Structure 1
Amino acid sequence: MMDHATRVGNRLLAALPPADFALLAPHLRKVVLERDAVLVRSGDRIEHLLFPCGGAIAFIVDLPNGQTAATAVIGREGAIGLTLALGTSHSSVTVVVRVPGPVLQIPAAQFLSALGRSPAIASMAQIFTRSLLTQVQHVAACNALHSVEARMACWLLQIHDRANSSNPLPLTQETMSELLGVRRTTVTHVVRALRASRALKSNRRGQLEIDRPRLEAVACECYKVMSRRIDRIVSRGAAGLIHAAPARDACQPPGNRLSRAGS
């Protein structure tokens, strides 16, 4: 069994009380994801949950006309498939690896079994749902109000935050087009402008090397506001997990089942 105090790189799992983490630990398997891997497509049944320990993973909305746009990017503060805890068995978005990294994978059936016995795991799902909703709301506002250049700076900073400060970032212009929901010609123009301001140091094939201070100067206020709010939700929520009711023993009679913790 994994020692979650020392070996878990995912913030949600690491915050669980030991007894609750022990319900998941025997079923967790470490997998290293490859760049641009599609983890689940919109409409697919959720077969596994993934808890990133590094890298950056994008949630993409696919429109009927073939256009795409990112609604969120997550790393070690999040998870893929936690909507199962809300009773949703199919993914509403396509999930794509943008910066490779390790994840902890667990079959959906094993997670749901642990969820039914652990108020803390239920609370963990609520924490992530709140943080994801916060990000989606900010992205929607940013898309409506701010320039493509400022939006690109925000996405690059968010990905850099989650990629363990990897620089250069393994991002193609096609990837940025997909994240921003704009044509590649627009991305080319914006990259050229960011290079002129030296916020991007280079644009080698499939790589974007950033200058963080200059890129932060280009980004709109959404980046800092969103980052602070998400970190606050995860940090406070994780601290509160220690007060959740203890996990129910597998042999405990159903009549004594503990209710799930609230948000």
Structure 2
Amino acid sequence: MERATRVGNRLLAALPPADFALLAPHLRKVPLQHDEVLVRSGDRIDHIYFPCSGAIALIMELPNGQTAATAVVGNDAAIGLMTALGPLRSPMTAVVRVAGAALQISPTRFQTALERSPALRGLVQLLSRALMTQIQHVAACNALHSVEARLARWLLHIHDRTDGGDVLPLTQETLSELLGVRRTTVTHVIGALRTSRALKSSRRGQLEIDRRRLEVVACECYKVMSRRIDRIVSQDALKVLHAAPPPNDSLPPDVPFAKADS
């Protein structure tokens, strides 16, 4: 538990010390600012981010300008790990929706460590499975369930990845982007959630939720998706990382981060 607190990101914290030491000198702690775009669709991925706090939405942008969220990630995931497969351009836009902090590393540095660490390769596979599970389930949910139930699900996913209490810093524009609907539809859905008291208040740029009531409104996708993702990144699943042989020329396990910016 002590190391998980120090590292912040669940995936990095699960690595064996010798494998984490391959990354540690090159990790730089950076703030994640609200509404910051970490990478845009079609752009080259210049940085990999391992969030320690906050929530990041992955947004699919269509040629006609419409957008919709495909996933929300926090300290259980990473942004930009597809570069492990080679120099790629991002298929989605990653936007910070709840401010926090992350450990940042260049794709080149990560790729070098990846070549020396079977455990890191296992980490990339685990993350890919968890992210694909969420994207596939979101696609099915969007086709089958009401906008009200889907918004409740997104709010619960974001709340799971924040530590700021029951007030979420989300604008109607952000909710429209998450859901792929017009702002007029968002206004109607927010009104319905307030009527059911799943939302206590909806001031400009802030939503105060009642989590218990929100879980009642949300479709079953929230619990099913959460269970499946938790199972993938559970401690039992992460034990496979420790089964990999350690790198032969690793650094000592307590090497500090290269730089930590507040």
TM-score normalised according to structure 2 size: 0.92
User: Contact 1:120/1:247 (CA < 8 Å) preserved in 2?
Assistant: no
CA RMSD of aligned residues (A): 1.4
User: Contact 1:4/1:13 (CA < 8 Å) preserved in 2?
Assistant: no
Deviant stretches of 4+, over 4 Å: 3-6
Residue 5 of structure 1, CA deviation: 5.1
In 2, Cα distance between equivalents of 1:45 and 1:217: 41
User: Are 2:225 and 1:223 equivalent residues in the alignment?
Assistant: no
Cα 1:130–1:112, aligned 2, differ >3 Å: closer, same or farther? same
In 1, Cα distance between equivalents of 2:247 and 2:81: 19
**1:238 matched residue in structure 2:** 238
Residue 180 of structure 1, CA deviation: 0.3
Residue 246 of structure 1, CA deviation: 1.2
User: Contact 1:118/1:248 (CA < 8 Å) preserved in 2?
Assistant: no
Greater relative CO (CA pairs within 8 A, separation 6+): 2
Counting aligned pairs with the same residue, the percent is 71
In 2, Cα distance between equivalents of 1:113 and 1:28: 13
User: Are 2:21 and 1:34 equivalent residues in the alignment?
Assistant: no
**2:249 matched residue in structure 1:** 249
In 2, Cα distance between equivalents of 1:27 and 1:11: 18
**2:137 matched residue in structure 1:** 138
Q: Letter of the 2:98 partner, please give it.
A: V
User: Contact 1:55/1:99 (CA < 8 Å) preserved in 2?
Assistant: yes
Residue 164 of structure 1, CA deviation: 2.1
In 1, Cα distance between equivalents of 2:15 and 2:32: 24
**1:48 matched residue in structure 2:** 47
1:7-31 deviations in Å (ceiling 9; x for gaps)? 1010100000000000000000111
Cα 1:206–1:5, aligned 2, differ >3 Å: closer, same or farther? closer
1:156-177 deviations in Å (ceiling 9; x for gaps)? 0000000125321000010000
Q: Letter of the 2:50 partner, please give it.
A: F
> How many pairs are equivalent?
249
In 2, Cα distance between equivalents of 1:5 and 1:190: 38
TM-score normalised according to structure 1 size: 0.92
In 2, Cα distance between equivalents of 1:27 and 1:130: 26
Secondary structure of the 2:168 match is: coil
**1:261 matched residue in structure 2:** none
**1:181 matched residue in structure 2:** 180
In 2, Cα distance between equivalents of 1:84 and 1:74: 18
| Structure 2: runs of 5 or more not aligned | 251-262
**1:113 matched residue in structure 2:** 112
Q: Letter of the 1:243 partner, please give it.
A: A
In 1, Cα distance between equivalents of 2:54 and 2:175: 16
Residue 108 of structure 1, CA deviation: 1.1
Secondary structure of the 1:96 match is: strand
Residue 47 of structure 1, CA deviation: 0.9
1:198-240 deviations in Å (ceiling 9; x for gaps)? 0000001100000001000000000000001000000133222
Q: Letter of the 2:238 partner, please give it.
A: A
Cα 1:5–1:183, aligned 2, differ >3 Å: closer, same or farther? closer
Secondary structure of the 1:247 match is: coil
**2:71 matched residue in structure 1:** 72
Residue 4 of structure 1, CA deviation: 4.5
